[in-house]
A and B are shown apart, each in its own frame.
Chain A
Amino acid sequence: DTGVSQNPRHKITKRGQNVTFRCDPISEHNRLYWYRQTLGQGPEFLTYFQNEAQLEKSRLLSDRFSAERPKGSFSTLEIQRTEQGDSAMYLCASSLAGRPYGYTFGSGTRLTVV
């Protein structure tokens, strides 16, 4: 296991299109987090899962955003009807509950909406 894997690394899409990103966490990690990061800013929390349950969603996660973790392993983040303001780096992280030292980020998916 080489860490948290995110695909694709880059995505360019036209405004109004739907996009889906995938995150594969470290296999034994039961928690998975999604963040959004814009240029020059720190990551902002979007949502997190413990196993397959989505336990918290940020106000940043509008109706156009949906995240799933159907089997408690990989997760997908879908953005519908993309807008230019959605352009950002989308980061995924995973951890084992109660073990903060293992909290690991993926390399992110860079989304550009044109």
Chain B
Amino acid sequence: KNQVEQSPQSLIILEGKNCTLQCNYTVSPFSNLRWYKQDTGRGPVSLTIMTFSENTKSNGRYTATLDADTKQSSLHITASQLSDSASYICVVSANFGNEKLTFGTGTRLTIIP
């Protein structure tokens, strides 16, 4: 069964600090891995998307890594801001041609001043 597991479930950090969120997956055949940010009551917004051949991708203060051998990914947030408070969802796409996505349950990040 295709699964995506994220850790930690929740995280609280001080504004300005860095943090790293983890994602492990068992999705086959692998197509791509995405990180989304979801504010409360809103739809998910894409941060990064990586294919099998990519092992790192940045989007501003967000840097995602991918190890396709160990089936692990991480999302590193640098110099956190209050607006980073949100759920971060790891999503893996299986290569069935229909972009069928398997979602993790997310990490709830809270930035405190």
User: B-contacting residues of A (Cβ < 8 Å)?
Assistant: 4, 6, 31, 40-45, 48, 50, 55-56, 89, 91, 93, 95, 100-101, 103-108, 110
Contacts and interface: CB of A to CB of B under 8 A. Distances in A.
Contact of B100 (A43, A45, A50, A106): A45
B16 interface: no
A6 B31 CA distance: 28
Contacts of B46: 103-104
Say what secondary structure dominates the interface of chain A.
Answer: strand
Given A55-B98, A56-B98, A100-B31, A108 B103 contact: no
A104 B104 CA distance: 17
A48 B45 CA distance: 19
Contacts of B91: 42
A6 B24 CA distance: 31
Interface residues of B, number: 24
Given A41-B105, A103-B46, A107-B42, 10 more contacts: A42-B106, A43-B44, A44-B103, A48-B98, A95-B99, A100-B31, A100-B32, A105-B45, A108-B41, A108-B43
Interface of B: 4, 31-32, 34, 36, 41-46, 49, 89, 91, 93, 98-101, 103-106, 108
A69 B89 CA distance: 28
Contacts of B45: 105
Scoring A31, A42, A55, A104 by chain B CB atoms within 10 A of each residue's CB, the highest score goes to: A42
A105 B44 contact: yes
Nearest to A110: B41
Contact of A100 (B44, B49, B104): B49
Contact of A107 (B4, B43, B98, B99): B43
Contacts of A107: 42-43
A91 B105 CA distance: 15
Contacts of B101: 45, 103
Contacts of B103: 42-44
Nearest to A101: B49
